[in-house]
């Protein structure tokens, strides 16, 4: 007892001396990007609330705070992806082959806006957008070209697609079948998160309820037939890029995920049947420790929700598996090479946060689709962190940090409070239909912009440490306009040469199923195999279901 008391006295004396020293040297106030106050120093007193077994535990075990796998990166590194889609399937296939040769370990497909919104390349509404921000996929023939020479049983593919996600999933299954790869061996993710589209991105098609039906259809189908493929990646990334805080990003993402789980359970699906199908997608921004804490807090909160709220028993249902992008709206056209540093630090934060898949944006993406050279440098950023820094040698290397553990707990508590708030307002669907979530994020984005304009939030090269020098001789990717013409020509040729009777019958069967309550995935697969186009399939469903109308005032 005497030894303990002496130790306590020594600590108190040291703290008193430290506080006297600090009092003589005033410091500026500090907070995270989400506005959570940050103390100058953290000590064991700030971690007294932690119970190791309850709050941290061991990686690979509930509550998964320290990671979803027992060995994490010592057993297997995260998947290295580079988001890529260039005009046509042929052009994109060449980029994929290049990136795979450079050591990329997974593919991430960027689709053009017409494909995302369910229009064919020859639709007048697609004019000037074909292949601009991603690859154009009109028919199964395009998807086959996209993966030509790339064995789908040896690569994991992520699709950033939402409104037309079920159709693209149908095509991927069909391509695998043509390659001789059983659907049970396909791995990857389809984003398939329509709720965030209504809030922060805009590539919606249908009203929420029928969109949710399609999502549940795809989750159910994958659980039955494509069990290694994540049928949904609930995406907070676009909340964050639209201006939300990291806390809002985490809370609204989990609130969306709760909605999807509830709709699956309402369908009659078992929680442990569909739980392993759910993954998550985020943006890592530049507040280093807040981003690390976000991923740790998310794992703990999701594990608790799945076990306590939904009575999940399978540990795989409780795992908060994360893919993400480093870059996004934090990239600046001013002094663009600064983006290399930003992305590297964001990638490091992501690794320390224990995520499963990372896409590092290229420095020139503030201007255009990345060039081959800039995409290679972005990939090398991940490889240097993985192989040269040593951070992948230890599971959760920042675990136990007084500051990080306190911040993890506070982020979890704030996210939980926001989730409860959305549910008190009627749930995410109601909040989206009334524009409530949109306004919350818009208000936060406005506050952040004011902080930048006032100089309260420093963006290096933008509002401080500026130079008058403009970037010289930027070698940007430029799409050949003839590629759009080639895409349209191929689409028209496919439509002219296909078995017209088979295509009509497939669309008729899809229409009848959509008018009823059957799972639409088998009918979508049948339609894409008959070379029905995305525009034909989603045009038919538009006629039946109508389109989402944005709330007034949003």
3-class secondary structure for 246-286? HHHHHHHHHHHHHHHHHHHHHHCCCHHHHHHHEEEEEEECC
Residue 551 has pLDDT above 90, yes or no: no
Residue 209 has pLDDT above 50, yes or no: yes
What tokens does 135 get? 């690859």
CA dihedral 267, 431, 451, 408 (to 10 degrees): -40
Residue 552 has pLDDT above 80, yes or no: no
CA distance 239 to 252: 8
Mean pLDDT score of the chain: 92
Q: Each residue of 73-93: pLDDT tens digit?
A: 999 999 998 888 888 999 999
> How confident is residue 234, by pLDDT bands cut at 50, 70 and 90?
very high
Q: How far is CA 551 from CA 192, 228, 371, 541, 545, in A?
A: 22, 37, 38, 22, 18
CA distance 119 to 544: 16
pLDDT of residue 554: 61
Q: Each residue of 455-494: pLDDT tens digit?
A: 999 999 999 999 876 666 777 777 777 888 999 999 999 9
Query: Comparing 48 with 411, which gets the higher pLDDT?
Result: 411
Residue 4 has pLDDT above 70, yes or no: no
Residue 60 has pLDDT above 60, yes or no: yes
Across residues 251-255, what is the average pLDDT?
97
Residue 318 has pLDDT above 90, yes or no: yes
**Other residues' Cβ atoms within 10 Å of the Cβ of residue 33:** 17
Q: How far is CA 220 from CA 187, 232, 431, in A?
A: 16, 11, 26
8 Å CB contact between 150 and 107: yes
pLDDT of residue 482: 84
pLDDT of residue 16: 84
Across residues 525-534, what is the average pLDDT?
98
pLDDT of residue 471: 67
Q: Each residue of 139-189: pLDDT tens digit?
A: 999 999 999 999 999 999 999 999 999 999 999 999 999 999 999 999 999
Residue 6 has pLDDT above 70, yes or no: no
8 Å CB contact between 218 and 521: yes
8 Å CB contact between 76 and 59: no
Give the three-class secondary structure for 31.
Answer: strand
> How confident is residue 2, by pLDDT bands cut at 50, 70 and 90?
very low
* Domains annotated on the chain, with CATH: 52-66+77-434 (3.20.20.240), 491-545 (no CATH)
CA distance 255 to 241: 18
Q: What percent of the chain has pLDDT over 90?
A: 81
pLDDT of residue 24: 81
8 Å CB contact between 138 and 120: yes
CA distance 9 to 11: 5
Residue 268 has pLDDT above 70, yes or no: yes
CA distance 314 to 262: 17
Across residues 20-26, what is the average pLDDT?
83
pLDDT of residue 5: 45
pLDDT of residue 470: 67
Residue 364 has pLDDT above 80, yes or no: yes
Residue 23 has pLDDT above 90, yes or no: no
Across residues 293-298, what is the average pLDDT?
98
Give the three-class secondary structure for 444.
Answer: helix
pLDDT of residue 480: 75
pLDDT of residue 21: 85
Across residues 63-74, what is the average pLDDT?
97
Query: Comparing 478 with 354, which gets the higher pLDDT?
Result: 354
pTM of the model: 0.93
The residue count for the chain: 554
Among 4, 71, 144, 85, which residue's Cα sits nearest to residue 395?
A: 71
């Amino acid at each position: 007892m005497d030894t303990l008391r002496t130790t306590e006295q020594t600590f108190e004396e040291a703290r008193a001396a430290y506080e006297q020293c600090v009092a003589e040297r005033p410091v500026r106030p500090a907070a995270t990007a989400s506005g959570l106050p940050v103390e100058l120093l953290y000590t064991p007193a700030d971690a007294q609330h932690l119970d190791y077994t309850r709050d941290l535990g061991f990686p690979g075990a509930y509550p998964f705070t320290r990671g979803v796998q027992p060995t994490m990166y010592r057993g297997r590194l995260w998947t290295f992806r580079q988001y890529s889609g260039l005009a046509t399937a042929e052009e994109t296939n060449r980029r994929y082959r290049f990136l795979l040769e450079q050591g990329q370990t997974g593919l991430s497909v960027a689709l053009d806006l017409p494909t995302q919104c369910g229009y064919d390349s020859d639709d007048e509404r697609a004019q000037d957008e074909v292949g601009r921000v991603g690859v154009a996929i009109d028919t199964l023939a395009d998807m086959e070209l996209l993966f030509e020479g790339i064995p789908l049983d040896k690569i994991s593919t992520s699709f950033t697609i939402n409104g037309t996600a079920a159709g693209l999933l149908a095509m991927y299954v069909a391509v695998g079948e043509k390659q001789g790869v059983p659907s049970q061996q396909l791995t990857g993710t389809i984003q398939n998160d329509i709720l965030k589209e209504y809030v922060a991105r805009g590539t919606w098609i249908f009203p929420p309820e029928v969109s949710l039906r399609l999502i549940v259809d795809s989750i159910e189908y994958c659980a039955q037939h494509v069990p290694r493929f994540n049928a949904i990646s609930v995406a907070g990334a676009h909340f964050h890029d639209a201006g939300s805080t990291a806390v809002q990003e985490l809370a609204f993402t989990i609130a969306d995920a709760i909605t999807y789980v509830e709709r699956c359970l309402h369908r009659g699906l078992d929680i442990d049947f569909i739980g392993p199908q759910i993954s998550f997608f985020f943006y890592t921004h530049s507040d280093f420790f807040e981003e690390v804490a976000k991923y740790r807090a998310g794992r703990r909160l999701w594990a608790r929700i799945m076990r306590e709220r939904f009575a999940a028993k399978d540990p795989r249902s409780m795992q908060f598996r994360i893919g993400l992008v480093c870059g996004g709206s934090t990239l600046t056209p001013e002094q663009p090479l600064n983006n290399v540093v930003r992305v590297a630090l964001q990638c490091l934060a992501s690794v320390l946060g224990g995520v499963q898949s990372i896409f590092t944006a290229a420095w020139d993406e503030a201007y255009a689709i990345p060039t081959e050279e800039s995409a290679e440098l972005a990939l090398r950023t991940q490889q240097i962190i993985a192989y040269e820094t040593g951070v992948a040698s230890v599971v959760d290397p920042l675990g136990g940090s007084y500051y990080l553990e306190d911040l993890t707990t506070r982020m979890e508590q704030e996210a939980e409070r926001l989730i409860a708030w959305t549910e008190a307002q009627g749930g995410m669907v109601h909040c989206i239909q009334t524009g409530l979530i949109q306004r919350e994020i818009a208000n936060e984005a406005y506050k952040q912009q004011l902080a930048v304009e006032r100089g309260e939030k420093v963006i290096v090269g933008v509002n401080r440490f500026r130079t008058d020098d403009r970037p010289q001789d930027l070698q940007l990717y430029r799409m050949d306009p003839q590629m759009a013409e080639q895409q349209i020509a191929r689409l028209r040729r496919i439509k002219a040469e296909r078995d017209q009777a088979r295509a009509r019958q497939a669309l008729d069967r899809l229409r009848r199923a959509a008018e009823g309550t059957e799972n639409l995935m088998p009918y979508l697969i049948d339609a894409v195999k008959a070379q029905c186009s995305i525009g034909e399939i989603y045009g038919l469903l538009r006629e039946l279901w109508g389109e989402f109308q944005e709330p007034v005032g949003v």
